[in-house]
A = this chain, B = another copy of it.
Amino acid sequence: MAKKAMVYIQSGGPTSVINSSLYGAIKEAQAHPEEISHIYGSLHGIEGLLCDELIDLGQEDEKTIELLKQTPGSILGTSRHKLPKDYHDKEYQAIIDTLRKHNIGYVFVNGGNDSMDTCAKLSALCKELNLDIKVMGVPKTVDNDLAETDHSNGFGSAAKYIINTVKEICIDASCYKNGKVFIIEIMGRNAGWLTAAVDLLPKETRPDFIYLPENKFDLEKFLKDIKAKFDQKGYVIAAISEGIEFERDESNVRIDSFGHKQLGGAAADLAKIVDERLDLKTRSIELSLPQRAYSFLTSKVDQDETIMCGRLAVQKALEGMSGHMIAIKRVSSNPYKASFEPVDITKIANVERKVPTSMMKDDTCMNASFREYCLPLIQGEINIEYENGIIKSAVLKKVRVK
């Protein structure tokens, strides 16, 4: 078998372990020098292949590669670019040109459902053109909404950050005699997995109510529940997914320069309604970007599985597989055991997996089956390396491939 180069693509929103997948893929590739000639990274997702902007990861030193495991964000840069449907589009020609120019035989796409669409298109194209290029998917999304996998790389760490942060907020909120209504906004447009995770907290530091986008949000019932709980305990904490729907004051919805409504701000709007309708002091807290960008509370289970997915994607590609994503299958929850297997990418692209009703006690609380599912995923802590009180992060040399 002739030696070929590999290229690695990071796509969609970052997670705290997205660079751990890359670490796994690099480590596995380094173990196969007889098959892989070069380890390239595509800058800014698929755009790197479109514009022939690749870097040579083989030029990075060992220490930097190790630090990837505690570096959040997409170190290669990311993109939300969606490839066109028509395979005759010039974008595909540009990608093929880049792949041929650098003698690339292996492409890895690390991302969520949208990114698996990119992966599926590239893989189908290579097959159609009869190119000997293997394209494999590496799962990633804090939202945990990828189909065909028990859970997604990145979810466990985001959940662990959210759970522990919400716990600290709950402790802080309980300190005053005259309390407030706290509304905490958590990521999740259509799938409420991350919000549901706070249900793992011990009762005394758990939000009183949890609202997922999977359930229809009933504003009047919400206000009634908040009022009753406030009267009973003197303060209330509600955790909401950013995607819950209610009548919003449109003047507060931010519109970006492309005319798209920007997410976020649901808690602020809801707090305003509570304030006006119930005349209670309120405070909204949006957990915002740190949810997906926090290295301090990385789950060891999540990181280990993430590294393994990166490794396996490379192994399977070398075995000749293409058009598949490495999925995680749960063997047992207690003790927790998981196995890995490749799944046909077309079953995953553009599909969203939501929280099933079978995991809910009612529309503001999860049940034991959810807790059994979620608890193993936040286990274990990683060792963090600091320098002068600041966590160390990898900084790549980014040597461009000519």
State the A residues within 8 Å of B (CB): 14, 44, 47, 71-74, 77-80, 160, 163-165, 167-169, 171-177, 200-202, 204-205, 251-252, 254, 256-257, 262, 264-265, 268, 271-272, 275, 279-283, 285-286, 288-290, 292-297, 299, 375, 378-381, 384, 386, 388-391, 393, 395
Contacts and interface: CB of A to CB of B under 8 A. Distances in A.
Contacts of A388: 200, 375, 378-379
Given A168-B294, A293-B169, A389-B378, A175 B285 contact: no
A251 B254 contact: no
A333 to B, nearest CB: 13
Nearest to A265: B268
Contacts of A283: 262, 264, 289
Nearest to A288: B285
A28 to B, nearest CB: 24
A72 B389 contact: no
A295 B257 CA distance: 39
A163 B390 contact: yes
A73 B175 contact: yes
Nearest to A272: B254
B73 A390 contact: no
Contacts of A378: 388-390
A46 to B, nearest CB: 11
A197 to B, nearest CB: 10
B175 A74 contact: yes
A167 B380 contact: no
A257 B281 contact: yes
A232 to B, nearest CB: 18
Given A77-B174, A257-B281, A265-B268, 18 more contacts: A73-B168, A73-B171, A73-B172, A73-B175, A77-B176, A78-B175, A164-B390, A165-B290, A167-B390, A168-B290, A169-B289, A169-B290, A254-B272, A254-B275, A257-B279, A283-B289, A379-B388, A379-B389
